[in-house]
């Protein structure tokens, strides 16, 4: 697991330093594969720096988050800050959006982007999803975009989400899940983990872990197939999941 975390952190630190897109490597996508982002945010608002969108998402979790003015929002694996800034525009000056990322280079980039965009209602904190630097019962909405698949201990990740959410709070998470029989050697390959696929759980198992964490009213408002990578007996999906803390 430490090898996996180290490879993930290394990969995303390099992306942050280069400010270039794609978590995908040639080993998982194929040397000749033409990589393209899984999601298109469209034209960004003028105050959201273009550098905040590194093309690493697999959905638009803010679209299904039911964000409202004055809320406190937490974005897990916030990267360069794109979803933090989009949420911050909705919650307004009375609200707060906290981004947590385990890669120092991403935190530095996101903070620069916050200054460039003039955002005063955002914070970026260094930390891991399995041990969030956030107080109990302090967050109204949790967001995450193509990050939980990178986390080795997903049960702990959802337990942490449950801990920090206020009663009645909810999450909106876009992520990669799998179907079929993904070869064991791929699931154990740190490079495939860092590329968002090695750690992608079967969708049914993923949803079961969420339910076992205590969440209710769990829904999947968006689901679509990922064209590549794909094997003869397995493949991957991009899904967005919403769930509530009772």
pLDDT score of 172 more than 60: yes
In angstroms, the Cα distances linking 107 to 10, 17, 27, 127, 146 are 14, 11, 27, 10, 17
Locate 132 and state its tokens. Answer: 């969030």
Give the model's pLDDT for residue 12: 87
Q: How many domains does the chain have?
A: 1
Q: Where are the beta strands (DSSP E) in the chain?
A: 72-76, 96-101, 122-126, 139-145, 165-180, 216-226, 234-244
What domain range is 126 assigned to? 2-27+59-244
> 237 in a domain, yes or no?
yes
Q: Which of 40-49, 115-124, 151-160 has the lowest mean pLDDT?
A: 40-49
Of 73, 223, 58, 244, residue with least CA distance to 167: 244
Give the model's pLDDT for residue 31: 37
128-140: per-residue pLDDT in tens? 999 999 999 999 9
Backbone angles phi, psi at 135, to 5 degrees: -70, 155
Of 100, 107, 106, residue with least CA distance to 148: 100
> 46 in a domain, yes or no?
no
pTM: 0.90
> 38 in a domain, yes or no?
no
Q: What's the burial of 119, exposed, middle or buried (CB within 10 Å: 0-12/13-18/19+)?
A: buried
Give 191 or 73, the one with higher predicted confidence: 73
Average pLDDT for 154-158: 98
Q: What is the CATH number of the domain that holds 156?
A: 3.40.50.150
215-232: per-residue pLDDT in tens? 999 999 999 999 878 888
Give the model's pLDDT for residue 52: 94
Classify 34 as helix, strand or coil: coil
| Rounded Cα–Cα distance for residues 14 and 10 (Å) | 6
> 48 in a domain, yes or no?
no
The answer to whether the beta carbons of residues 123 and 96 sit under 8 Å apart is yes
Give the model's pLDDT for residue 37: 61
Q: Which of 92-96, 126-130, 133-137, 231-235 has the lowest mean pLDDT?
A: 231-235
> 51 in a domain, yes or no?
no
* Mean pLDDT of the residues in the chain: 90
Q: Which of 11-15, 168-172, 198-202, 214-218 has the lowest mean pLDDT?
A: 11-15
> 43 in a domain, yes or no?
no
Q: What percent of the chain has pLDDT over 90?
A: 73
| Rounded Cα–Cα distance for residues 203 and 169 (Å) | 23
Give 185 or 64, the one with higher predicted confidence: 64
Task: Looking at mean pLDDT, say which of 53-62, 161-170, 193-202 comes out highest.
Answer: 161-170
Confidence class for position 169, pLDDT limits 50, 70, 90: very high
> 53 in a domain, yes or no?
no
Q: Is the peptide bond before 229 cis (omega within 30 degrees of 0)?
A: yes
> 151 in a domain, yes or no?
yes
Q: What is the DSSP string of 103-158?
A: -HHHHHHHHHHHHHHT--SEEEEE-BTTB-SS-TT-EEEEEEES-GGG-S-HHHHH
Rg (CA), the chain: 17
Q: Which of 46-55, 165-174, 204-213 has the lowest mean pLDDT?
A: 46-55
The answer to whether the beta carbons of residues 203 and 178 sit under 8 Å apart is yes
Give the model's pLDDT for residue 43: 83
Exposed e or buried b for every residue in 202-219, given b needs 16+ CB within 10 A? bbeebbebbeebebeebe
Give the model's pLDDT for residue 193: 84
């Amino acid at each position: 697991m430490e090898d996996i975390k180290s490879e993930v952190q290394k990969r995303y630190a390099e992306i942050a330093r280069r400010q270039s897109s794609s978590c995908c490597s040639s080993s998982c996508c194929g040397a000749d594969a033409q990589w393209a982002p899984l999601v298109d945010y469209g034209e960004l608002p003028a105050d959201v720096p273009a550098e905040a969108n590194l093309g690493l998402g697999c959905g638009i979790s803010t679209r299904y988050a039911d964000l409202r003015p004055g809320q406190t929002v937490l974005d897990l694996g916030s990267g360069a800050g794109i979803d933090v800034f989009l949420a911050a525009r909705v919650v307004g000056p009375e609200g707060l959006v906290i981004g947590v990322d385990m890669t120092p280079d991403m935190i530095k980039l996101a903070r620069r982007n916050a200054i460039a965009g003039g955002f005063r209602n955002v914070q970026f904190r260094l930390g891991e999803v399995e041990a969030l630097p956030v107080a109990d019962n302090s967050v109204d909405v949790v967001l995450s975009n193509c990050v939980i698949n990178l986390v080795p201990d997903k049960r702990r990740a959802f337990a942490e989400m449950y801990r920090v959410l206020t009663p009645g709070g909810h999450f909106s998470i876009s992520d990669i899940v799998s179907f079929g029989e993904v070869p064991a050697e791929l699931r154990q390959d740190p490079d495939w983990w860092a590329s968002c696929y090695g750690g992608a759980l079967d969708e049914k198992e993923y949803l079961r872990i969420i339910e076992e964490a205590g969440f209710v009213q769990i829904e999947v408002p968006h689901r679509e197939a990922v064209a590549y990578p794909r094997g003869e007996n397995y493949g991957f999906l991009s899904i967005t999941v919403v769930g509530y803390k009772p």
